[in-house]
Chains A and B, each alone.
Chain A
Amino acid sequence: MGLLLVPFVSFLILFFFGRKLPSQGDWLATLTGGISFILSFVIFTQIWTGTPQHFRWTWFSLGETTKTLDFSAGILLDNLAAVMLVLVTFISLLIQVFSIAYMHGDKHYSRYFAYLGLFTAAMISIILADNLLLLFMGWELVGFASYLLIGFWFEKKAAAKASLKAFLINRLGDVGLLLGLFGLYALFQTFDLTELNNSFSAQNPTISTYLTLIGLGLFCGCIGKSAQFPLQVWLPDAMQGPTPVSALIHAATMVAAGVYLLARCYAFFTPDALLIIAIIGTLTALSGGLAALFQHDIKRILAYSTISQLGFMVMGMGTGNPEASLFHLITHAFFKAALFLIAGIVIHAMHQGLNALPYHEEVDRQDIRNMGGLRRILPITFIAYLLAFGGIVGLPFFSGFLSKDAILSGAWAWAESKNNRLYFLIPDIGFISVLLTAFYMTRQLLFVFFGKFRLNLDPKTLRHSIRNEASVLMLIPVVLLALLSLASFFAVNPFNAASGWLYGGNQLMPQLPNMLLRAIAENHEIHVYTAFLSTTLALAGIAFAWFKYRNLELKIGRVASAYSAEPLNPIARFTFRQFYLNELYRFAFIKPALKLGKTVAFFDKKVIDGLLHFFGMIAVVGAKIIGWFDRIFIDGFVNLLAWFSGSLGKMGRNLQGGELQSYYLYALLGLMLVVLSILVL
């Protein structure tokens, strides 16, 4: 509990008082980050291989006293949550340290750290939640923090648009998630994960279509959050945010929340739902890899690569190997965060070097065609990049090898257990993705670090100072993360993930009767085969890229914007534009929606407004008539009365007019009256 509160308190303090704190409160954010990391590490040591802890209390109650619906809230600490906790707090701590140097001098420095605190708190609440409702709240909060951080430089129009896009697309997935939650509640009257798991082990298979739909609903949330195939378009645009944010949220933690959700709800998925999950994951892995092939933006390449790796994880889930998928989640978090932070260092260095140039405004700092030869200038960064590169490509001795191998052999065994050859497409496409990953990563490596620096500029100006290539605060996190992509942190035998502490022992998801894993363990052949094949493919990808980009045809001094923005080859352009998914959505959804909006507006204007105008006119005419009546009759009557009394008064006044002759007249009239009365009476 305290763990959850620490980053949140940091968020509140920084958000409201950040500017007044010394050095704008970065030390506070880092301190709270450190405290949460230490706390979660303590929790980890207590929980790991121990008994899961479960604290819960009643959250709120609904309904009458006779039949109340109690909603509980609580914390579920099992091995999975403990590992994820350490992962999230560790990476977020490193990234806060990195950000101190990266964001230095930014206008909204303290607000940035406040948002990071909010994000960490939300992420921890997802991990700790013991029921789906609480998890959903954390889920939404995470999305909100992501929205804030993508649009952090909201003065840039692209950033503001990207944040909106990410938020809206996530909403789309959340609708499905919400529907799934409703369905689950309708069936089992509880959101509690432990109770749900218990009910599922005792459920009857008659309602399985319904369950498939529920599972797909839950998976929709994952599609949105983890940027799976039809909805992955927001993630590349999310790169408009600050680079450490991309590392933390859009590579390591938040996008993995979808995979975490799948793992948490794994028992609820029917075989049909799992098949669809596997297909979507495979498609994502392939499409992400293809889209990354010809990108020029250093961050966009990594973003597409993230999509591809997330596809891998989801494929692992779908093919009945959630442990492998979680294992890949963890290894991927480390090396992808490292890669993004390295991209941050490179971009930062480019900024520093370019600011001295007169034409620096036009030069894209993130275009890999403007870089080159950075291995001599930034040697430590280069070595860190090589480590993370080994991880993501899946070379032996690196963590990515272990986790990818686990997923692929799982998928292979899954396909073998089916009786249809078509199922082998899924591991096959997985292998193709390995090849693609190796290709585009090598391409990036060659463009950024090899060859010669391609701008008319002394590359030495890119260094932070003469002694240091970059700020120490930036180098330490990068080196730490890059080292963690070595296999030896996860397994003693670098060729067998099952020999490690994390994977293979049924540690992460003990509630599953993991038949498949046992099958893999027994069938050693598949394992060796996949390991061999994926290594070969990775090496082939590297070699292919090496031969294609070894002699870069780009000229020194020529700015990247001088080249055409898109590849000329139509197939390459097709992948570059991400299969025109954005355009498709614009054409298929946004335009019709706008058109619908316009039609409705037209209907409103003409019909509704017309009707209103008609009634308005009637009312106005009626009012005019009444007004006329008022003026003529009522006012006339009142005026008549007034006039009458006025003239009476005037008459009375005239009696006392002071004119001598009238006095005579009155006297005479009076006299005549007297005479008349005498005569008559």
Chain B
Amino acid sequence: MSARSGRVRQYESSGQLPDQSGSPPTADSSGTEAEGLIFYHMDLYGSKERFDIFPEEPSGQADRSQGNSRKETALSSEKIQHSQEAGYDLEKEVAELAKMYGLDEDKEKELELLGGHPQTVERRWPPAHTQKAGSQGSVYSASKSSSPVKAQSTKQQGLPGEASQDEDQSKARAEDDAESHTWSREGLSSGGMSEEQSSQAVSEEEETADVFCSTCKMPIRAFDKLFGEHRDHEVAQLSNAVESEKEEIHKNMCKLEEQIAQIENFASHLEEIFITVEENFGRQEQNFEVHYNDAVQVLAQKYEEQLEALGEEKRQKLEALYGQLVSCGEHLDTCKELTDTTQELYLENDKANFMKAAVTMVDRLEEFLRKEVDLELSTLPDFEERKIDFSEVEQLMNSINTIPAPCAPVINPQAPNAATGTSLRVCWGLFSDDTVECYQLCYKPVSNERHGDEQAEHMLKVKETYCTITNLLPNTQYEFWVSALNASGISPPSERAVYVTAPSPPIIKSKKIRSCENAALVCWESRDINPVDSYMVELSKLTDEENDDTITESIVGIPNCEVLIHLQPIQSYRICVRALNLGGSSESSEPVLIHTTGTYFCLNEDTAHPLLAILDDGFTIACDELENPECDLPVYDNSFTRCIGILGSLIPFPGKHYWEVEAEEDTEYRIGVAFENTPRHGYLGANNSSWCMRHIITPSRHKYEFLHSGMTPDIRITIPPTRIGVLLDYENYRLSFFNADIAQHLYTFNSHFQHYVHPCFALETPGILQIRTGIAAPPWTALP
């Protein structure tokens, strides 16, 4: 890192260099070009050592590299003169240039770039140049251009001291005029460019030049070819020569453009790095500041604490010594006093007095001397050994170079459609730019409070800021929380987020599907215990072609497990259901096929009389016996108790519905329609909630009744129908019965049905009725 920043710094300081060393190219080279050059310099002369070269010969370098592009024609003309006069000097200069520029092979291209400058100059003042000057210019640029190669050779030799040898070589080349020309033309376009420019200038002046002398690299008149100095030279048509040169120039221009783009890219990259470095180092500076401040503070605190403790110890010691000194003084005083008293006693002449006093005195002395004199030092002069605790500081110092433990991550709420029935995609993020090695994601199912036992927690480590967890239960809530980890430790856990898995696909109750020409009623059951938000039905119309997977319609936001779908008549549809919750949608249910030909309904088994059997096809009802061992038979709340009948479940949809019933000629039955709540204890047709056709056999004949509220018209039918068509026409308020075999209209009830009705079927005596659905209403049912 430091190396990079160093480079960037250098870039900064050296950025001014070109500005100082040479004012920007005067004329045609644009600013970008100039900048490009500058960067190029910088990047490749990345080390200071290289730059050190410049001060040595600043003027020379500047002059040579850019002098030609300047308006200071004096210099260039001088140089031209110079080269004219002494090719040797020129070659020497070139060699010097080569030393400076051509140390690296890559410099070749740059030289091309630089070499381009003379041409612009020449283009600006074409009239000022004579043919001679032009040709000499070309010579100059050619030899100059040749310098990289020589520079290479110099480099290869490795010793700058052998420059003279170089010079000799170049001199030798310069002397061989023709050779040098050819070589330069082949190798370097810049030379060619200048040549072309000069040749243009020439051709403007001398109208008659029409041939190009390859040897001399100049246009000449054809006349010269024949008789002039170019007699033995190789020549080409001037126009051809121009074309090939232009092509060459164009190629080089392209290269230049490429290089400019490359350099610009690199420059902007450098700028980015520059910014990054500033940021990185700024952050690290802050980090250091904080940590060192902490450390210094801790040290200062320690120092204070130590000083205080030391002072206290000193004070205590001094006090102790002082006390001892004082008591020593007191002792001395007492001794002196005793001595004095004793001496006075000696002087006492009165024996009685003496003895009296002497006894007292002796007692005092004895008592005094009995006391021991404490000559021990109460305290030592040296201070206590104190252990200085640097561990805290050490820790602080150590922590300077380690990263702080990350902050708690922020877990995202569940994104839509990020869940399947068994998987969840959880995402989270970081507030700060903490360094994080990995995350620790924990989850567990959200348990109902009722279940006391805690659900097991799962934990996994993730590198990314997202994770897809699999093997989950459908339509279940899971709680997620996440912590960030790095070498320094683990962050506190994030807030807990609740995600929910998508539901299981529902199961369409295919046996309960009802349909008619214009609609279908589809119901299904959820496979999940938990409720889902809504359901979605997808339907595709099946065509004759194979590619029938296109979903033509979706119905969303269905709250219940049932939906009425409007369809087109005489079509086939494939219908699927998906369950939806916050987590997303389930997989599609198993599809069902619906044909909107005629009306399709099913029998409502719950309503069947105990003696009525529904055969396996679901549409044949049979009654074997009329004896009613009631105790043995289960009776449901909704089933018919008297009439051996059953209701069908017709789609609640207006329009026409047609179905047929097949019966043997002697089967006694009631068929028709009834409201869903028609009394179960009564006979069909006996009340005002049912309408039916009844067939019974009297001793004399087949008797047909068309019953509603127990009333029937008196109708004779000569052919007992064995296939009865029933047409329920809500639109025209009628219920018609037909002998479907002969398209014979039997009877029509005219009634404004207040509610939707259901088909009803009953057997009067043992027999079988076969119900046929999904039949388009025959045309002859249109009129009675």
Chain B associates with chain A: no
Q: Which residues of A contact B (CB under 8 A)?
A: none
**Residues of B bordering A, CB below 8 Å:** none
